[in-house]
Structure 1
Amino acid sequence: MTTHPAVLPDGYWARRELACALTLGATGLPCVQAGVELLIDTDIWLHRPDFVEQFITIDASVATALAVIDWEAAIAALDAGRLPCSGGERAVLRIAAGMSGGIPLDLRDALISLDRINLALTATAVEHAAGLPAAGREHA
């Protein structure tokens, strides 16, 4: 298997390819896919070179690239102050890591940090993690 760190792509279509690679890397794992889709839908973390280049790895040995997130390392960096962000951005990353990586979080603290839009996206991700189909969701 040939893996390498992801590099933040330029342009909409390149970012879309990264999102598709992450979605494909989570295929068949509803909780992982829900967390990945939360990051994609909130449109925050996949635009940050410090996140993408350090915590996303791409497997280029397959015909269609697969990408995975190192959730434990990302949360360790967040806790150490190496990923500065707003309270809402912090909450989104913690919730996604909790769903996808099984990393414990203070749900009360995370939920009160979300605005209405990110709260709705989180509710959709929770439904998906629970095995309910995501209405209107495009899949790679």
Structure 2
Amino acid sequence: MTEHNFASGQCLCGKVHYTISSDPRVMSQCHCDDCRRATGTGHASNAFFKKSDVHISGETSCYATIADSGSTITRYFCPACGSPLFGTLSRLENVLAVAVGSLDDSSWFKPSAQARHATSRNSGTPIAIIRSPTQR
């Protein structure tokens, strides 16, 4: 039986690559200061998968920080080219966030949530999570 690959991706230099064998659980964009700094853009676009469904080849480096919520966020990147690839949150042990920019094809990415946090300077009011009207 062949394994279904939903998506695949890699870092800029190709030393780290991955395949994903399931649909995403959640797709979101975060506009907090930490995510903006980690990506070098105005937000982080992430798709969240069951950790066991993401199969990674190659070695990554990581950097851990404490979020406003008190949870530890660990960001994984390629040690050679620096491409941001994955993230984990200590309170969600079985979930892996995949950086959408590292996907080979992200045409399916449709964020269902926008997150802003009190630390976000470009947000007029502190908002935790805004869900789209289609999400219940």
Higher helix share: 1
Higher strand share: 2
TM-score by length of structure 2 reads: 0.28
The structure with higher relative contact order (CA 8 Å, sep 6+) is 1
Larger radius of gyration: 2
TM-score by length of structure 1 reads: 0.27
